[in-house]
Amino acid sequence: MSFNTTLAEHLNEMSTLLELTGANRFKIAAFAKAARVAENQTADLSTLDTKDLLAIDGIGKGVAAFIEELAETGEVTDLVSLREEVPAGLAEVLDIQGLGPKTVRQLWQDLGVTDRQSLAKVIDGDEILSLPRMGQKTIDNIKRSLTFASKSNQRLPLGVAARIADKLLERMRETPGVKQAELAGSFRRGRDTIGDIDVLVVTDKEELARAAFCEADDVLDVIARGETKCSIRIEVPTKKGRWKTDPGKKATIGADLRIVPAESFGAALMYFTGSKEHNIRLRERALKQGLTLNEYGLFPDEKGEKGSPQSRGVKPVASKTEKQVYAKLGMPVIPPEIREDLGEIDLEETPKLVELKDIKSELHAHTTASDGHMPLHELVQCAIDRGFHTIAVTDHSRSSVQANGLSEDRLREQREEIEEAKAHFGSKVTILAGSEVDILADGSLDYDDDMLAELDIVVASPHAALTQDPKTATKRLLRAIEHPLVHIIGHPTGRLINRRPGLEPAMDELIAAAVEHDTALEINSHWMRLDLRDTHVRAAVSAGCKIAIDCDDHMPEDFDNLRFGVSTARRGMLTPELCVNAWSKTKLHKWLKSKR
DNA sequence: GCCGTTTTCGGCCCGACTGTTTTCAGTCG
* C-alpha torsion sign, points A536, A541, A546, A547: positive
Domain at A393, CATH number? 3.20.20.140
In the complex, which nucleotide's C1' lies nearest to the CA atom of residue A259? B16
Torsion of CA A406, A407, A413, A415, to 10 degrees: 60
From the C1' of B18, which residue's alpha carbon is nearest? A224
A253 CA vs B23 C1’ separation (Å): 34
**A555 burial class (0-12, 13-18, 19+ CB within 10 angstroms)?**
middle
Check whether residue A449 and residue A541 sit in a common domain: yes
Check whether residue A283 and residue A251 sit in a common domain: no
Mean pLDDT value across residues A295-323: 83
Nearest to A361 by CA among A108, A585, A73: A585
Please identify, among A205, A225, A259, the residue that sits at the C-terminal boundary of a domain: A259
pLDDT at A572 over 90: yes
Please write down the HEC assignment for all residues of A545-556: CCEEEECCECCH
Residue A31 included in any domain: yes
A285 CA vs B14 C1’ separation (Å): 14
Q: Report the C-alpha gap between A257 and A234 in whole angstroms.
A: 13
Which structural domain, as residue segments, surrounds residue A524?
356-593
Please identify, among A297, A328, A346, the residue that sits at the C-terminal boundary of a domain: A346
- Kindly report, residue by residue over A165-219, the tens digit of the pLDDT: 999 999 999 999 999 999 999 999 999 999 899 999 999 999 999 999 999 988 9
Residue A351 included in any domain: no
Check whether residue A132 and residue A200 sit in a common domain: no
Residue A145 included in any domain: yes
From the C1' of B20, which residue's alpha carbon is nearest? A133
Mean pLDDT value across residues A385-402: 94
Mean pLDDT value across residues A312-322: 90
Residue A163 included in any domain: yes
In the complex, which nucleotide's C1' lies nearest to the CA atom of residue A106? B26
Protein-contacted positions of strand B (CB under 7 Å): 1-3, 6, 11-21, 25-29
Residue A516 included in any domain: yes
With a CB cutoff of 8 Å and minimum separation 6, the contacts of A288 are none
Mean pLDDT value across residues A590-594: 98
Check whether residue A318 and residue A397 sit in a common domain: no
pLDDT at A581 over 80: yes
pLDDT at A246: 65
Dump strand ranges (E) for A409-498: 430-438, 457-461, 488-489
Which 3 state secondary structure label does DSSP give A178?
A: strand
Mean pLDDT value across residues A67-84: 95
Ranges A109-113, A344-348, A545-549, most confident: A545-549
A524 CA vs B13 C1’ separation (Å): 37
pLDDT band at A152 (very low <50, low <70, confident <90, very high): very low
Residue A388 included in any domain: yes
Mean pLDDT value across residues A355-375: 96
Please identify, among A200, A224, A259, the residue that sits at the C-terminal boundary of a domain: A259
Q: Report the C-alpha gap between A566 and A386 in whole angstroms.
A: 15
In the complex, which nucleotide's C1' lies nearest to the CA atom of residue A129? B20
pLDDT at A588: 98
Check whether residue A25 and residue A108 sit in a common domain: yes
Which 3 state secondary structure label does DSSP give A520?
A: strand
Residue A115 included in any domain: yes
A512 CA vs B4 C1’ separation (Å): 36
Check whether residue A40 and residue A180 sit in a common domain: no
Domains identified in chain A, total number: 4
pLDDT at A114 over 70: yes
Check whether residue A415 and residue A484 sit in a common domain: yes
A319 CA vs B6 C1’ separation (Å): 28
Residue A485 to residues A319, A445, A591, Cα–Cα distance (Å): 54, 10, 12
**A224 burial class (0-12, 13-18, 19+ CB within 10 angstroms)?**
exposed
Nearest to A199 by CA among A267, A269, A253: A269
A505 CA vs B15 C1’ separation (Å): 43
Which 3 state secondary structure label does DSSP give A32?
A: helix
Q: Report the C-alpha gap between A258 and A215 in whole angstroms.
A: 15
8 A C-beta contact, residue A333 and residue A282:
no
In the complex, which nucleotide's C1' lies nearest to the CA atom of residue A60? B2
pLDDT at A483: 97
In the complex, which nucleotide's C1' lies nearest to the CA atom of residue A57? B2
Check whether residue A453 and residue A334 sit in a common domain: no
- Kindly report, residue by residue over A439-498, the tens digit of the pLDDT: 999 999 999 999 999 999 999 999 999 989 989 999 999 999 999 999 999 999 999 998
Q: Which one has a higher pLDDT value, A84 or A251?
A: A84
Check whether residue A143 and residue A275 sit in a common domain: no
Which of A11-15, A242-246, A368-372, A538-542 comes out lowest in average pLDDT?
Answer: A242-246
Mean pLDDT value across residues A557-564: 96
Q: What is the pTM of this model?
A: 0.87
pLDDT at A241 over 80: no
pLDDT at A435 over 80: yes
pLDDT at A52 over 80: yes
Residue A287 included in any domain: yes
Check whether residue A11 and residue A58 sit in a common domain: yes
From the C1' of B11, which residue's alpha carbon is nearest? A26
Q: Report the C-alpha gap between A433 and A436 in whole angstroms.
A: 11
Domain at A319, CATH number? 3.30.210.10
pLDDT at A240 over 70: no
Mean pLDDT rounded to a whole number for chain A: 92
Mean pLDDT value across residues A362-373: 95
From the C1' of B25, which residue's alpha carbon is nearest? A133
Q: Report the C-alpha gap between A536 and A36 in whole angstroms.
A: 15
Mean pLDDT value across residues A377-403: 95
Check whether residue A141 and residue A177 sit in a common domain: no
Domain at A42, CATH number? 1.10.150.110
Report the 10 Å Cβ neighbour count for A102: 12
pLDDT band at A40 (very low <50, low <70, confident <90, very high): confident
From the C1' of B13, which residue's alpha carbon is nearest? A280
Which of A138-142, A326-330, A436-440, A444-448 comes out lowest in average pLDDT?
Answer: A138-142
A254 CA vs B12 C1’ separation (Å): 30
Check whether residue A59 and residue A118 sit in a common domain: yes
Angle, vertex CA A86, rays to CA A82 and CA A91, nearest 5: 110
A22 CA vs B3 C1’ separation (Å): 23
